[in-house]
Structure 1
Amino acid sequence: MADTVTPRKHERSFVRTFLTSPTAVKGEEDSAKMLRGAIGLRGMQAPDVWTPDNEDATAPTMRDEGAENVAEVVAEEGADFPGEIHPRIVWRRDDAGTRYQGLQHMLRIADPKKEAIEHIDGFVFPEVGDIDDWKKADEAVTMVENEYGLEEGSLKMSVIVECAQAELALEDLRDEMGKPTNNLERLFMLVDGEVDYTKDMRAITPTGGLPPWVELRHNTSRGASAAGLIAVDGPYDDIRDIEGYRNRTIENSAMGMNGIWSLTPDQVVTANKSPLPPVEGYWLLEAGDRKIELDDEGDAWTYAGDRVTLEETGDRYRLTVGDDRKELDEDELHQELVDMLEYVPNMDDMVDSMEEFEEARDSGIGAIAMTRDATVRIDGVEMEIEDDRMWDEATYEAAMTPVKLFQDVYENRPDQHEELEEMYGANVVDRATEIGS
């Protein structure tokens, strides 16, 4: 089957983590202290993309010094940083003076005499407006490349979608990219900025918190997919709520947005691991409006909550879900449970299924049935269930997405190899890297 995904210009297909750091901190003996700490991160604590933030994270009076700090720190330690480095500069769609300042900071950071540019992959632009403003940002990067004799298009450009104008510009990307009048093919990431977006939309919530902006995340993910780019969600500022942050990454992955802004090393670790296939497979039970993970007790997968009850009444069963009660025979109960249960495969399960399908496909079989079975226990009542699913080429390609993410991580993040092998086991890692090749 032909690949229907829009081709990507850049080597990286996925970005899980986007970590920002202040470029200059006033009152510190070393104003670049935060940069030095971030650039030293390794393994699961190190992001896929590190963004020295010379905009919101840095006071306006410190930004000139911040640009110098970026150049100095990246020149000294950038060669050893395991992720990509994309500084964020100041930019504003309605302020030419701010745009000029951003250009000057890029020129300082990219000056070959400072020896940082060879380790810098691109720049991040905040506060962009409509598509004409994206072209201005692209032109600014082109000016930097021409100033220092760099190949046009060699520096990537990422934008933060922080207003309705930028969101609407997503619709224009496919038509504008590739025209001889711009270098927009340098675009790499589309990052949501929900805080400024909320301000731009004049949105109000009773608590003063941010709306979920599911539509924005969907639109950004769709725009990235259509243009062959990478979508990244904005910051989750309750840094103590790691479980909420993890749930946000899971919700995002379901709409094709596998990256998220990280504010702390703990968030980086969570976001680096979350979109990868799980280490252990598990069953989910649909209980009303929730899906609840069953407990693995060795001999059975057990539900011990009160949203679902099951009792045996002679040769029949009484199944209650919330206010809904059903009297069922054994076959009817089996089908009901099959409909309520869903298996979440681990990496080993995925590789097994893919290897089985590849073997069948190579022998000329176009579709095969995959069977998953388990013993389920609810209120002491046990039931053996089997669930069959047909696999064809389309199913295989869809199931490859999380494995392709793993392969992309394994190829681009050798500093995480040891941790990945500890998570999955060397045998599973070896097989996963070979699937689809």
Structure 2
Amino acid sequence: MTERSRTTDRHYERAFVRSFFTSPTAVDEDDSAKMLRRAAALRGMEAPDVWVPDNEDATAPSMRDEGVENIREVVAEHGGDFPGEIHPRVVWHRDDPATRYEGFQQMLAITDPDAGAVEHIDGFVIPEVGDVDDWKKADEALQRVETEHGLDPGSLSMSVIVESGEAELAMGDLRTEMGKPSNTLERLFLLVDGEVDYTKDMRAMTPTGELPAWPELRHNTSRGASAAGLIAVDGPYDDIRDVAGYRERMRENRAKGMTGIWALTPNQVVESNTAPLPPKTGRWLLHAGGRDIDLDREDDRHVYRGDAADLDALGDDRYRLRLGDDERELEAEELREALVDATSYVPSMTDIVDSMEEFEAAKENGRGAIAMTQSATLDIDGVTVDVEADRMWDEATYQAAKTPITLFQDVYAHRPDQREAFAERYGEAVVERATEVGDT
């Protein structure tokens, strides 16, 4: 079981969860536990941070009893070797006492010490929760499971899937409810969005029948998790072939403070495990036509060839620059300033570590702020321009830059099965420096 390191009484040792991977607990085949066995064998970047044997939506109602037995068998046999956390999903519903009781019975059976699985079970995922009183019912069910099996109080975590307006509003109550003597809601771990059922609950409609994007729900879940010391996870991205769309969704989420996302396939697990990590190499972006465009690296130049921007040398140090629909004639210095404004740099792992180490050294020498210079040679339509920009680093800048390194350190500590991949990606020297920087 994962111990919590407590600045409050509710913080898990893990600060980040990147991937939340669900597997059917029983399928209509000769080996009904086939999908569980495949998931239990995942390692490295294909293995999720949180594996969810799903005995709710992913498993037919007629097979859920068999699903419970399969969880017990597979987790007892393979759970000790699985590199992530294991959180089975059971049935629950805010409006149905019979379904809640069924969920309690599933948790009770899965954690039976005689079955041998409970020592590898980190907690449970509770779907279809309602207002905060319903969250307390789920918490009390877990209290009863722990009591009846002689488990340590609070040893089973509880993650909830936010699938209703009631649950969304309940996140605002957590700060005042957690820690009261009448509950053990400090066992909460993940807040997970379930956009499909949320759409149904909200009676939302789109012309095509596709799900709304629900950016408000994702923001509210991230905010609720931050306020309560929990971890936010986005819901499933159903178009499993749309890798670019999945990456874009994760990029948008990270800008909201939501690192984790549901994964439906091992390929999505690889994407969700990799995308939040600092990149191996830095890259320059050109802002043109309402979008950010990656510039290609060719030798010591960053090159753009396309229709969104044009640059022509007119002679006598004058140029014509077009970015999208904006076209201007500029002198050389004006051009450099315009391109500084129109470009940005995505730092690599090495860049971040270098900058943090330089700032830490400056702090040790009594300096509270330093200037970091970033320079590049841009090549747009065959015309090259040298640009250079300074960025002031102070304590606030340092702390903001520290977040991706803190993520990397968290993953490095809790997923030793991925360390070889990190060494291949970044190089052992950079990995070693990244694990040590950021202590000041």
TM-score interval (norm. to shorter):
over 0.9
Q: What is the alpha-carbon distance in structure 2 between the residues aligned to residue 230 and residue 7 of structure 1?
A: 15
Give the AA of the match of 2:335.
Answer: L
Structure 2: tracts of 5 or more residues without a match = 1-6
**Residue in 2 that maps onto 1:117:** 118
**Residue in 2 that maps onto 1:364:** 366
Q: What is the alpha-carbon distance in structure 1 between the residues aligned to residue 9 and residue 118 of structure 2?
A: 27
**Residue in 1 that maps onto 2:319:** 317
Q: What is the alpha-carbon distance in structure 1 between the residues aligned to residue 225 and residue 85 of structure 2?
A: 19
Instruction: List per-residue Cα deviations over 1:358-413 (Å, max 9, x = no partner).
Output: 00011110000000000001111111100100001111111111111100100000
Q: What is the alpha-carbon distance in structure 2 between the residues aligned to residue 89 and residue 299 of structure 1?
A: 55
Greater mean deviation of Cα atoms: 294-303 or 321-330: 321-330
What RMSD, in angstroms, separates the aligned Cα atoms of the two structures? 1.1
Q: What is the alpha-carbon distance in structure 2 between the residues aligned to residue 228 and residue 283 of structure 1?
A: 35
Q: What is the alpha-carbon distance in structure 1 between the residues aligned to residue 135 and residue 300 of structure 2?
A: 58
Residues 240-255 of structure 1 aligned to structure 2 (within 5 Å):
240-255=241-256
**Residue in 2 that maps onto 1:17:** 19
Q: What is the alpha-carbon distance in structure 1 between the residues aligned to residue 308 and residue 21 of structure 2?
A: 40
Shift of residue 317, structure 1, vs aligned partner:
1.2
Q: Secondary structure at the match of 2:108?
A: helix
**Residue in 2 that maps onto 1:151:** 152
Instruction: List per-residue Cα deviations over 1:306-360 (Å, max 9, x = no partner).
Output: 1111111122111112222212111111111000100000100000000000000
**Residue in 2 that maps onto 1:98:** 99
**Residue in 1 that maps onto 2:341:** 339
**Residue in 2 that maps onto 1:34:** 35
Query: Segments of 4+ in structure 1 off by > 3 A?
Result: 5-8
**Residue in 2 that maps onto 1:134:** 135
Instruction: List per-residue Cα deviations over 1:114-141 (Å, max 9, x = no partner).
Output: 1110100000000000111011111111
Give the AA of the match of 2:282.
Answer: G
**Residue in 2 that maps onto 1:299:** 300
**Residue in 2 that maps onto 1:351:** 353
Residues 25-424 of structure 1 aligned to structure 2 (within 5 Å):
25-26=27-28, 28-314=29-315, 315-424=317-426
Shift of residue 249, structure 1, vs aligned partner:
1.0
TM-score by structure 2 length?
0.97
Shift of residue 241, structure 1, vs aligned partner:
1.1
Report if the CA contact (8 A) 2:290-2:324 is conserved: no
Residues matched between the structures, number:
432
Alpha carbons of structure 1 residues 371 and 8: separation in structure 2 relative to 1, 3 Å: farther
Shift of residue 288, structure 1, vs aligned partner:
2.4
TM-score by structure 1 length?
0.97
Which of 419, 426, 432 lines up with 2:434 in the alignment?
432
Shift of residue 227, structure 1, vs aligned partner:
0.6
Report if the CA contact (8 A) 2:24-2:36 is conserved: yes
Alpha carbons of structure 1 residues 282 and 234: separation in structure 2 relative to 1, 3 Å: same
Q: What is the alpha-carbon distance in structure 1 between the residues aligned to residue 239 and residue 382 of structure 2?
A: 40
Give the AA of the match of 1:70.
Answer: I
Give the AA of the match of 1:412.
Answer: H
Report if the CA contact (8 A) 1:6-1:226 is conserved: no
Greater mean deviation of Cα atoms: 169-178 or 307-316: 307-316
Report if the CA contact (8 A) 1:91-1:102 is conserved: yes
Alpha carbons of structure 1 residues 7 and 425: separation in structure 2 relative to 1, 3 Å: farther
Q: What is the alpha-carbon distance in structure 1 between the residues aligned to residue 126 and residue 145 of structure 2?
A: 14
**Residue in 1 that maps onto 2:4:** none
Give the AA of the match of 1:382.
Answer: T
Report if the CA contact (8 A) 2:10-2:188 is conserved: no
Q: What is the alpha-carbon distance in structure 1 between the residues aligned to residue 191 and residue 110 of structure 2?
A: 22
Shift of residue 68, structure 1, vs aligned partner:
1.2
Give the AA of the match of 2:326.
Answer: D
Q: Secondary structure at the match of 1:342?
A: strand
% identical equivalent positions: 69
Greater mean deviation of Cα atoms: 95-104 or 144-153: 144-153
Instruction: List per-residue Cα deviations over 1:234-278 (Å, max 9, x = no partner).
Output: 000111111211111111111111000000000000110000000
Structure 1: tracts of 5 or more residues without a match = none
Q: What is the alpha-carbon distance in structure 2 between the residues aligned to residue 261 and residue 288 of structure 1?
A: 32
Report if the CA contact (8 A) 1:90-1:126 is conserved: yes
Q: Secondary structure at the match of 1:37?
A: helix
Report if the CA contact (8 A) 1:6-1:225 is conserved: no
Q: Secondary structure at the match of 2:359?
A: helix
Q: What is the alpha-carbon distance in structure 2 between the residues aligned to residue 267 and residue 71 of structure 1?
A: 26
Instruction: List per-residue Cα deviations over 1:278-321 (Å, max 9, x = no partner).
Output: 01100000002100000101131011111111111122111112
Q: What is the alpha-carbon distance in structure 1 between the residues aligned to residue 192 and residue 296 of structure 2?
A: 37
Q: Secondary structure at the match of 1:152?
A: coil
Greater mean deviation of Cα atoms: 379-388 or 119-128: 379-388
Report if the CA contact (8 A) 1:302-1:377 is conserved: yes
Greater mean deviation of Cα atoms: 380-389 or 315-324: 315-324
Report if the CA contact (8 A) 1:130-1:166 is conserved: yes
Instruction: List per-residue Cα deviations over 1:11-43 (Å, max 9, x = no partner).
Output: 1100000000000112x1111111111001000
